Structure 1
Amino acid sequence: MSKGHGVGQVQSPGNGDSSVRLRVLSYNVHGQRDDVDALAEVVRSLEPDVVIVQEAPRRFRWRHKCAALADRLGLVVAAGGLPALGNLLLTSLRVQVYRTWCQQYPLTPGRHLRGGVFAECGIGTSRFVLAGSHLSTDPTERPGQAALFKQELAALRLPVVVGADLNENSGGGAWRTVADGLTDAAVVADAAERFTFSCVYPHNRIDALFVDPRIGVLDYDVVDTPQTRRASDHFPIRADLLLPAAL
């Protein structure tokens, strides 16, 4: 069991019995440079329906490497990899994927390429969009990248679930841009003091999970275990959500 706490939370108004539960994991896997067996153990034990991955394979033989990562975690690739510059969406077979697209932010010479990934998904009668991004460590780049990511999110009609490594703490300008109009799952669950980075010296909450206000947050945790401390330099975020019925 993780050392964090989960908190029951209100359901979206009018969901009724047709609402659907969704377990989401948002996880910066550090390019699989740590203990990959521990990484697989962590993800499989949490039994997510979807995983929003940062620092996934994005270079030579990236398709094969993304598929191998998904298989190791007991999931399938929905979207991402090189076209999303290391952002990746993985799903269980419970989730249907209807369409996917990727986003690349303008390159600043000498900096890393960054991007976003999106997938329109469904479980039963519920439809939603899964989205992920990993913003720059450079504070001069982040605001523009956040604005481009938010522009894509704002154009969506369906409820959105967003997992991102924002590379800044809550309250920063880029964080506020992405969070605008969305629910911060950690805040709703009274867990905003839980740090996500680094596993060696936890002192920052730079990883976020945001959801559309139409989505209920049933439970939230920053998963801190011996396995997660070996698996990556970031702790994974796990949340149980309640999706609204078909809109």
Structure 2
Amino acid sequence: MTVAPAPAGGVRLRVVSYNIHSQRDDTAALAAVVREAAPDVVIVQEAPRRFRWRQRCATLAESFGLVVAAGGLPSLGNLLLTSLRVRVLATRCQRFPLTPGRHLRGAAYAECAVGGARFLLAGSHLSTDPAERPGQAALLKRELAGAHLPVVLGADLNEGPDGAAWRTVGAGLTDAAVAADAADRHTYSCADPRRRIDALFVDPRVTVVGYDVVDTPLTRRASDHFPVLVDLLLPATA
């Protein structure tokens, strides 16, 4: 993991953002990857969102040693999971407008508290269609702009940093990979890593202490995306 010196004060938070490929791969490896990372929160893309989605989301969370905070069907497969160290204060979900013939997309949000810090945890997954993504990015950004808490956003943007949707979502936020001088680390695909399409953005008030794209034999079995693992220092709430 790329690690920066941590300033004094603040509250540590370990975050994983992970597209789990609808659990189509090695689910035992998937659970082992997350448990080994020992995160405080996991931002999941392509989580259960259809038949018996509540039970399946709970089972997924249990396999990670976490609990469900928000998401699932209401946010169209975006799921926020937390450890018991994190208190969830409020949640909401967002659905982007349906384009006939394409996959539904959305976002999940949870206002959280840990130690002496509060923050807004958010997760989203944008369209594979380049014509559709900018509009979804604008809707996501509009929702985030209303946040009064420091934002921690994990997303599969389905495009790289040179894309218009990426620039829209990232405006005014810190790209954790750039902050850690690790923007050359590719997140997709595990079979042929050539693109960084999975991002972790944070409020400028949040310090990026460490960043990693976890590429191991286990992660290559667990999904078609590598997990993004980030250590943060949140500002303490006055």
Q: Which amino acid aligns with 1:6?
A: T
1:163-209 C-alpha deviation (Å, 9 max, x unpaired): 00000011100000000000000001000000000000000000000
- For 1:123 and 1:194, how far apart are their aligned partners in 2? 29
Alpha-carbon contact 1:9-1:188 (below 8 Å) kept: no
- For 2:171 and 2:163, how far apart are their aligned partners in 1? 12
Structure 2 gaps of 5+ residues are none
* Residue 107 of structure 1, CA deviation: 0.3
* Residue 10 of structure 1, CA deviation: 5.3
In the alignment, structure 1 residue 108 sits paired with structure 2 residue 99:
yes
Give the equivalent residue in structure 2 for 1:44: 35
* Residue 213 of structure 1, CA deviation: 0.2
Q: Which amino acid aligns with 1:40?
A: A
Give the equivalent residue in structure 1 for 2:234: 243
Give the equivalent residue in structure 1 for 2:147: 156
Give the equivalent residue in structure 2 for 1:74: 65
Give the equivalent residue in structure 1 for 2:133: 142
Aligned residues between the structures: 238
Give the equivalent residue in structure 1 for 2:167: 176
- For 2:193 and 2:174, how far apart are their aligned partners in 1? 23
- For 2:5 and 2:225, how far apart are their aligned partners in 1? 25
Structure 1 gaps of 5+ residues are none
Q: Which amino acid aligns with 1:21?
A: R
1:33 maps to which of 16, 24, 29: 24
- For 1:10 and 1:160, how far apart are their aligned partners in 2? 19
1:130-178 C-alpha deviation (Å, 9 max, x unpaired): 0000000001110000000000000001000000000001110000000
TM-score normalised by L of structure 2: 0.99
* Residue 7 of structure 1, CA deviation: 2.2
RMSD of Structure 2 on Structure 1 (CA) = 0.8
- For 1:95 and 1:49, how far apart are their aligned partners in 2? 7
- For 1:173 and 1:9, how far apart are their aligned partners in 2? 32
Alpha-carbon contact 1:195-1:205 (below 8 Å) kept: yes
Runs of 4+ with >3 A deviation: none
Alpha-carbon contact 1:9-1:189 (below 8 Å) kept: no
Give % identity: 71
Alpha-carbon contact 2:176-2:208 (below 8 Å) kept: yes
1:6 maps to which of 2, 20, 31: 2
1:220 maps to which of 195, 208, 211: 211
TM-score normalised by L of structure 1: 0.95
